[in-house]
A and B are shown apart, each in its own frame.
Chain A
Amino acid sequence: MSLSYASPTTVNEAVALLTGATGLTKILSGGTDLLVQLRSGRVKPDIIMDTKKIPGILGIIETEAGFVIGAATPGAVIGEHAGLAAAYPGIVEAANLIGSTQVQGRASLAGNLCNASPAADSVPAMITAGAIAIVVGPNGQRAVPVEQIVIGPGRTSLARGEFILEFKLPKPAARSSGAYLRFIPRTEMDIAVVGAAVNVTLDAAGVITHARVSLGAVAPTQLLVVDGANAIIGSKLDDAALAKLDAAARAVCNPIDDKRGTIDFRIKVAGVLARRAAAIAVQRALGQAAGTKH
């Protein structure tokens, strides 16, 4: 069988193509992971299916209910969306860390997620934002929380014939914000040794009423750290709460040991970054409260 390229123009056409295909079909969004893998010979698809002609897969829509981000929307477009940056700064700063400006011209959230690298930067930020992936396939649509998509390095829970059409983000509650931080040995163009994202919602008195914490690059998949969130809910992020958050973050780590970071180092940094990301998220939520609206 010979390799072919297809760019379907509807969801139905795409699903039919994916389900009807024999051999390996690879979905192409920006291609910043896939083209590297194609050239190395690591992936040898029979069909490359480019999603970018499917309506709705490129672009960001702001609605009463929140945001809908097309699965293949490039990072550059995400970075330029003022509404998204105000509501979910953690996602925007994570997307803006992916590669260079040129890479961001193509790199998408769906590709970052479905490439299923434990170090993918946007994933912890999406998890803490409560992002829902809208998955389409032969059995119609299903809504899947982002933390349930990746099941191991290079592996996702998507069934044959399925792909992600878009991500939904709820409209954030008043006094909510988030942050993403990563540690890399240099300042640009590197892959996270540890990544940490935190989202918080505060009450009028500044007490955290809702929180989500996620870590990247410290386990085979990105982790939703429920104990970390519980450690700071009910607090104003005082030292005791921060210490509990640090301990909870360290407790879930199961990292690899390599030249870029030893196990001990990654675990320690996970605690530190979780604390710092939480502090930034709270500062941003307070700043928003101090603003005229929200």
Chain B
Amino acid sequence: MPDTNFEQPQTPAATPLAMTLHVNGRDHLMALDPRTTLLDALREHLGLTGTKVGCNHGTCGACTVHIDGRRHLACLVLAAAAQRRNIGTIEGLAGPDGALHPMQAAFVAHDALQCGYCTPGQIMSAVACVAEGHTGSDAEIREYMSGNLCRCGAYPNIVAAVREVAANAQQRS
């Protein structure tokens, strides 16, 4: 059963653990409490606040990042366990010249957001969904995007964006 009272203090105290995280192509050396999640490491320690905190326990998908190309929930990964892995966040998706990733462009074109809070997680998840090839039909897209909740209910436009990127990717290959 998911817990709801997740703000309780944590004991015992911990000595910081030195670790290197490889994020968006760059190494970051830091010393963190061993319990620090990848989500907190990104947001609180590296200032990469594009990755969002929703539920903080695995149910909403707002914190979706890539680890070695696969989608993971940063709130359920210990930063320490993500060392020596390629971590990708929404900040690293656009090209070096700022050109939007096709999925970002499709989200804009299809108006696949309202408040935008879930959007970084949706986009990271959607990029992986296309790479995994789980885009055979709208139903398949919906199923494989079901780990990303959108309380604004932008789902139809999100599906349209994913469908378009998948179709373009198929044409190119």
Contact = CB atoms under 8 A, between A and B. Distances in A.
Interface of A: 1-5, 7, 28, 30-32, 35-42, 44, 46, 48, 50, 52, 76, 99-103, 105-106, 188-189, 191
Nearest to A188: B146
B152 interface: no
Given A3-B14, A39-B57, A102-B61, A50 B78 contact: yes
A106 B72 contact: yes
Nearest to A37: B3
A100 B132 CA distance: 14
A44 B34 CA distance: 13
Contacts of B134: 101
The list of the 5 closest CB pairs from A to B, nearest first, reads A100-B147, A5-B34, A41-B8, A40-B3, A3-B14
B78 A101 contact: no
Contacts of A2: 12-15
Contacts of B76: 30-32, 35-36, 103, 106
Contact of B58 (A1, A41, A103): A103
Given A2-B15, A39-B56, A102 B147 contact: yes
A101 B129 contact: yes
B58 A4 contact: no
Nearest to A80: B132
Given A4-B17, A189-B59, A40 B125 contact: no
B173 interface: no
Contacts, number: 114
A38 B78 CA distance: 11
6 contacts: A5-B34, A36-B6, A40-B5, A46-B12, A52-B81, A191-B1
B58 A38 contact: no
Interface residues of B, number: 45
Given A3-B13, A100-B147, A40 B8 contact: yes
B10 A31 contact: no
Nearest to B55: A36
B37 interface: yes
Contact of A42 (B3, B9, B128): B3
A192 B23 CA distance: 37
A102 B72 contact: yes
Contacts of A191: 1
Contacts of B3: 36-37, 39-40, 42
B78 A28 contact: yes
Interface of B: 1-3, 5-6, 8-15, 17, 33-35, 37, 56-59, 61, 64, 67, 70-73, 75-78, 80-81, 125, 128-129, 132, 134, 143-144, 146-148
Contacts of A40: 3, 5-6, 8
A26 to B, nearest CB: 11
A101 B70 CA distance: 10
B141 to A, nearest CB: 11
A30 to B, nearest CB: 8
Contacts of A188: 143, 146
A189 B147 contact: yes
A243 B77 CA distance: 46
Contact of A102 (B1, B57, B73): B73
B12 A105 contact: no
Nearest to B4: A40
A30 B6 CA distance: 19
A191 B35 CA distance: 26
Contacts of B37: 35
A219 B141 CA distance: 35
